[in-house]
């Protein structure tokens, strides 16, 4: 499983980026830098990641740092998969 590509695909789908997410580098900032990633999109993104990868995210596991960059989001998903 290529977690990076799957996370990028989920981001692209949830935010309707029409392929733009495939150009993101690991250090690409997300929250506050991508207009499509508002509070409602964060909820949708979390839900879609849960469904796609088969894990559950508790409220106290999430804060803005998870969405700081593509790398931090991938790290979060990898951590959840390792649990």
Residues 27-42 have pLDDT tens digits of 999 999 999 999 999 9
pLDDT band for position 83 (cuts 50, 70, 90): confident
Q: State the pLDDT confidence band at 1, using cuts at 50, 70 and 90.
A: low
Which CATH number is correct for 3-82, 2.60.40.1510, 1.20.1250.20, 1.10.1200.10, 3.40.50.720? 1.10.1200.10
Q: What is the mean pLDDT of the chain?
A: 96
What is the per-residue burial (b if ≥16 Cβ within 10 Å, else e) of 24-60? beeebebbeebeebeeebbeebbeebeeebeeebeee
Name the residue ranges covered by the structural domains of the chain: 3-82
For residues 40-68, give the mean pLDDT: 96
* Predicted structure pTM score: 0.94
Average pLDDT over residues 11-22: 97
């Amino acid at each position: 499983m290529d977690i990076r590509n799957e996370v990028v695909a989920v981001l692209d789908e949830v935010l309707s980026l029409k392929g733009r997410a495939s150009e993101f580098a690991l250090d690409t900032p997300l929250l506050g830098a991508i207009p499509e990633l508002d509070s409602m999109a964060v909820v949708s993104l979390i839900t879609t990641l849960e469904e796609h990868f088969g894990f559950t995210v508790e409220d106290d596991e999430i804060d803005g740092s998870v969405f700081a960059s593509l790398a931090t989001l991938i790290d979060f998903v990898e951590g959840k998969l390792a649990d």
